[in-house]
Each structure stands twice: as C-alpha cells, then as structure tokens.
Amino acid sequence: MKYHLIVSFCILFASCTDSENQRLVWVCSCEQQKEVSKWVKESINSANNHSDEEMEDVIYQLERTAVRLTCLQQVRTIHYSTGGISSVEKDSCESIFNY
C-alpha cells in the first residue's frame, strides 16, 4: 500500500512541476510587426462584408494571415507551468505567435 501511495505522490509531483518543450512558432521582428499591422489596416475594409459576422473574428483572421505571410517560423523553447505557458525565449523586440 505504501508503494502505491509513493508512486501516486511522485506522479502528482511530476505533473505539477515546470517543463519545457521545443515548438515551431511564428516569430516576428520589430520591422515585421509593423508590416503585419500595416497589412491588417489596409485589408480591413475589403475584408468587411457588412454581415452579422463579428469584426473581432475578421481582425483575428487578418492578423493570422499577415503573420503567416510576413514572419518566419522558428523552433523555440517554451517553458510550461501548471497554469499554461510561463515564458518563451525571445529577443526584446520579437513577438511570438503560436498558430
């Protein structure tokens, strides 16, 4: 019985600790972020079909498309904690997108 209790405690402890993972993410530099913003701003009028669709969804899709057209995919180390992503290794001016 003690063995099962110890094993259960070890599994619980291991699941609550921080971990890290290598993932392929979209990385935008400062210049690329400006290009993404400009592209979204220029495209928003033609993307608005004046229907009942929420503009938040349209803007999200435009940003996602602009990031994929402009930025580069790179493998980055992502640190996870029990609450989700705790940090990503990046330069000071980079933005990380996980689409």
Residue 38 maps to a domain? yes
- The CA dihedral of 78, 84, 86, 92, to the nearest 10 degrees, is 70
Residue 12 maps to a domain? no
The whole domain housing 41 covers 18-97
Distance, in Å, from the CA atom of 40 to the CA atom of 67, rounded to the nearest integer, reads: 10
Indicate the average pLDDT of the chain. 79
Tell whether the model's pLDDT for residue 76 goes beyond 80. yes
Residue 67 maps to a domain? yes
The two tokens of residue 37 are 């913003």
pLDDT, one tens digit per residue, over 18-29 is 567 888 889 999
Nearest to 89 by CA among 80, 98, 76, 99: 76
Q: How many domains does the chain have?
A: 1
pLDDT, one tens digit per residue, over 36-67 is 999 999 998 887 777 766 788 889 999 999 99
Residue 30 maps to a domain? yes
